[in-house]
Amino acid sequence: MKKFRELIRYLMREELQIQHRLINIFLIIGTAALFFCLIYDIFLGTAKSSFWIMGLLILSFILSLLIANKWNKPNAAGIILSVVANYFLMPLLYIVDGGKESGMPLWLTLAALFVWLVVDGWPCLVIYIGDIILFSSLIIYEYYHPEFVNRLSSRHDEYVDYIIGIAAVVLIFGAIFKFESRVYERKRQELEEKEKELTEINLSLEQANEAKSIFLARMSHEIRTPINAVIGMNEIIMRESAERNIIGYASNIETASHTLLSLINDILDFSKIESGLMKIVPDEYDTYDLIRECYTLLDMRARDKGLTLKLEYNEKLPSVLKGDEVRIRQIITNLLSNAVKYTDNGSITFDVDFVKKADDRIDLIIRVTDTGRGISEEGMKTIFDSFSRADERQNRNIEGTGLGLSITKQLIDLMEGSIDVKSEYGRGSEFTAVIPQTAVSPEPMGDFWTKYNAGEGTGENYHESFKAPDARILVVDDVSVNLKIFTLLLKNTEVMIDTADSGARGLELYKENHYDMIFLDHMMPQMDGIETFEEIRKTDRYKSERTPVVVLTANAIEGADKEYLAIGFTDYLTKPVQSDELERVIVKLLPDEMVFVADR
Q: Is 338 in the site for ligand ADP (CB under 6 A)?
A: yes
Our measurement of the distance from residue 38's CA atom to the centroid of its chain's CA atoms, rounded to an integer in Å, reads 67
Indicate which single residue of 405, 412, 434, 586 sits in contact with ligand ADP (rule: CB under 6 A): 405
CA distance 517 to 80: 97
Residue 343, burial from CB neighbour count under 10 angstroms (0-12, 13-18, 19+):
buried
> Toward ligand ADP, which CB reaches closer, 24 or 343?
343
Q: How far is the CB of 207 from ligand ADP (least distance, A)?
A: 28
Q: Which of residues 416-445 bind ligand ADP (CB under 6 A)?
A: 429
| By the rule CB under 6 A, 50 interacts with ligand ADP | no
Least distance in angstroms from the C-beta of 255 to ligand ADP: 16
- H/E segment holding residue 488: helix 480-489
**Kind and range of the H or E element at 362?**
strand 361-370
- β-sheet bridge partners, residue 285: 321
CB 200: neighbour CB atoms within 10 A? 10
Is residue 403 a contact point for ligand ADP (CB under 6 A)?
Answer: yes
Alpha helices in 348-491 (DSSP H): 377-380, 404-414, 448-451, 480-489
Give 323 or 404: the residue with its C-beta nearer to ligand ADP.
Answer: 404
Site membership for ligand ADP, residue 332 (CB under 6 A): no
Could you tell me whether strands 318-323 and 361-370 are parallel, antiparallel, or unpaired per DSSP bridges? Answer: unpaired
Residue 262 binding ligand ADP, by CB under 6 A = no
- The answer to whether residue 287 forms part of the interface with ligand ADP (CB under 6 A) is no
Burial group, residue 297, by CB count within 10 angstroms (0-12, 13-18, 19+): middle
In the complex, minimum distance from the CB of residue 298 to ligand ADP, in angstroms, rounded to a whole number: 12
Which C-beta is closer to ligand ADP: that of 30 or that of 374?
374
Q: With contact defined as beta carbons under 8 Å apart, do 89 and 46 qualify?
A: no
Cα gap 169→363, rounded to integer Å: 72
Any contact of residue 102 with ligand ADP (CB under 6 A)? no
Query: Minimum CB separation from ligand ADP for residue 399, in Å?
Result: 7
Residue 157 — φ and ψ, nearest 5°?
-65, -40
Q: How far apart are CA 599 and CA 464, in angstroms?
A: 10
Q: Which of 104-112, 118-126, 320-328, 337-345 is the region at the interface with ligand ADP (rule: CB under 6 A)?
A: 337-345
Verify binding: residue 151, ligand ADP, rule CB under 6 A: no
Residue 404 binds ligand ADP, judged by CB under 6 A: yes
Q: Quick check: 235 binds ligand ADP (CB under 6 A)?
A: no
Q: How far apart are CA 497 and CA 104, in angstroms?
A: 109
In whole angstroms, the minimum distance from the beta carbon of 337 to ligand ADP comes to 8
Residue 85 CB coordination number (10 Å): 22
296 touches ligand ADP by CB under 6 A = no
Region of 105-113, 164-172, 365-373, 440-448 interacting with ligand ADP (CB under 6 A): 365-373
> Of 162, 313, 342, 533, which lies in the binding site for ligand ADP, with binding defined by CB under 6 A?
342
Q: HSE-up of 16 (CA within 13 Å, CB side)?
A: 21
Q: Based on the number of CB atoms within 10 Å of its own CB, is 451 exposed (0-12), middle (13-18) or buried (19 or more)? A: middle
Q: Which is nearer to ligand ADP, 14 or 399 (CB)?
A: 399
298 binds ligand ADP (CB under 6 A): no
Q: Which is nearer to ligand ADP, 213 or 408 (CB)?
A: 408
Query: Which of 327, 373 has the CB closer to ligand ADP?
Result: 373
Among 30, 105, 372, 548, binds ligand ADP (CB under 6 A): 372
Report 528-567 residues binding ligand ADP (CB under 6 A): none
The answer to whether 12 and 21 are in contact (CB under 8 A) is yes
Choose the stretch contacting ligand ADP; rule: CB under 6 A; options: 10-18, 37-45, 222-230, 372-380.
372-380
Stretch that binds ligand ADP, among 104-112, 118-126, 396-404, 563-571 (CB under 6 A): 396-404
Query: What number of chain residues touch ligand ADP (CB under 6 A)?
Result: 22
- Give CB contacts under 8 A, 24+ apart, made by 138-144: 138/91, 138/94, 138/95, 139/100, 139/105, 142/99, 142/100
Among 401, 432, 570, 578, binds ligand ADP (CB under 6 A): 401
Q: Binding of ligand ADP at residue 333 (CB under 6 A)?
A: no
Nearer to ligand ADP, 54 or 403 (CB): 403
Give the nearer residue to ligand ADP in terms of CB position, either 282 or 400. Answer: 400
Instruction: Find the shortest distance in angstroms from Cβ 557 to ligand ADP.
Output: 25
Regarding 390 and contact with ligand ADP (CB under 6 A), the answer is yes
With both helix axes pointing from N to C terminus, report the angle between 480-489 and 579-589 in degrees, rounded to the nearest 10: 70
Hey, what amino acid is at 129? I
* Residue 435 C-beta: closest distance to ligand ADP, Å: 18
Q: Is 369 in the site for ligand ADP (CB under 6 A)?
A: no
Alpha-carbon distance values, 315 to 308, 353, 425, 444 (Å): 21, 9, 33, 6
CA torsion 244→246→251→253, rounded to 10°? 170
Contact flag: residue 391 with ligand ADP (CB under 6 A): yes
* CA atoms of 263 and 46, how far apart (whole Å): 97
How far apart are the two ends of the chain, measured CA to CA in Å?
110
Identity of the residue, 58 or 375, whose beta carbon is nearer to ligand ADP in the bound complex:
375
Residue closer to ligand ADP by CB (options 194, 427) is 427
Burial class (CB in 10 A: 0-12, 13-18, 19+), 293: middle
Span of 47-55, 155-163, 295-303, 336-344 interacting with ligand ADP by CB under 6 A: 336-344
Q: Are 465 and 583 in contact (CB under 8 A)?
A: yes
Q: Least separation, in Å, of the C-beta of 250 and ligand ADP?
A: 26
Element (H, E) at 374: none
The answer to whether residue 74 forms part of the interface with ligand ADP (CB under 6 A) is no
For residues 322 and 284, the answer to whether their CB atoms sit within 8 Å is: yes
Q: Which is nearer to ligand ADP, 21 or 389 (CB)?
A: 389
In the bound state with ligand ADP, the residue whose beta carbon lies nearer, of 332 and 362, is: 332
Secondary structure (3-state) at 525: coil
Tally: H helices and E strands in the chain? 20, 14
Which stretches of the chain bind ligand ADP, using CB under 6 A?
338-339, 342, 370, 372-375, 379, 383, 389-391, 395, 400-406, 429
